[in-house]
Amino acid sequence: MTVKMIAVDMDGTFLNSQQDYDREKFSQLYQVMKQQGVRFVIASGNQYYQLKSFFPEIEGELSFVAENGAYVVSEGEEIFTGEIDPEIIQEVLTILAKFKQGHTILCGKNSAYVNEDEPDSFIEHGQKYYHRLKKVPNLFDVKDDTLFKFALSFPVEQVPEVLVQLHEALGDKVIPVSSGHGDIDLIIPGIHKAHGLMKLQELWGIKNHEVAAFGDSGNDLEMLKHAGYSYVMSNGQPRVKVAAKEIILSNDENGVLLKIEELLGN
């Protein structure tokens, strides 16, 4: 079996519950990947600036499918940037105002934005995933950035119901996907993690059957269906487990690194 590209989701997949990973083991496997010419890609709903902070020594060598595919950066170079039409941004913000239990972060290329009236607890939660997060008086007035995603937060038990309501309210302006922990991302139709992987595959001449992907949540579904080798964590969402070829050990049992070790034949 030939794997030329390994794509990993971060939260609930590559990262353990402490928001970290076995850095020593990864470092050894990364050297093997380099020797074998295997590309390592981080594919996450999170912000590029947050994702690269997990790999300080090598972030300039890696590729990132950030913001669920809306921002793709390879070796420090921008490969793809999505954009939501400014009119649709206004329409979606108007619709979201009716969801009283929800909190909203508006995500752009230069920064993410949050209303300064949001509770401190939510802003602190947001800063974990968005290292560049600006407080603004009104999200409707954010204009000087390329905006490509909404990140919403709801009480966990409401998420299934809210997803249905958002689908109905938003039509096909933006697509709601669950990203775990009560978080829901609204993404550009057709711009998801698999789309980001395809941009990198074009760059490197890698076929779908040469891709291995790892995930745990609804925003990983397209990527798992796209990849020749697809793995879902034992802690993953039930409907995601059905989409993958194999269920592996959880994110707290080094599931991803042990499977990568196996794929590399080490």
- Per residue of the chain (266 residues), give pLDDT as tens: 699 999 999 999 999 999 999 999 999 999 999 999 999 999 999 999 999 999 999 999 999 999 999 999 999 999 999 999 999 999 999 999 999 899 999 999 999 999 999 999 999 999 999 999 999 999 999 999 999 999 999 999 999 999 999 999 999 999 999 887 789 999 999 999 999 999 999 999 999 999 999 999 999 999 999 999 999 999 999 999 999 999 999 999 999 999 999 999 96
Query: Which bin fits 251, alpha (ψ -120 to 50), beta or left (φ > 0)?
Result: alpha
Is there a contact between 101 and 154 (Cβ–Cβ < 8 Å)?
Answer: yes
- Return the axis-axis angle of helices 159-170 and 86-96, rounded to nearest 10°: 130
Tokens representing 8 are: 């990993």
141 is catalytic: no
Residue from 9, 11, 185, 216 carrying the catalytic annotation: 9
Give the pLDDT of residue 201: 98
Give the pLDDT of residue 266: 64
Give the pLDDT of residue 1: 65
Tokens representing 159 are: 């998420």
Question: Which residue ranges make up each domain of the chain?
Answer: 5-81+191-263, 86-187
* Pairwise CA distance, residues 74 & 14, whole Å: 19
Q: Determine the CATH number of domain 5-81+191-263.
A: 3.40.50.1000
Give the pLDDT of residue 105: 98
CATH number among 3.30.1240.10, 2.40.340.10, 3.40.50.2300, 3.30.1490.20, domain 86-187: 3.30.1240.10
Give the pLDDT of residue 180: 77
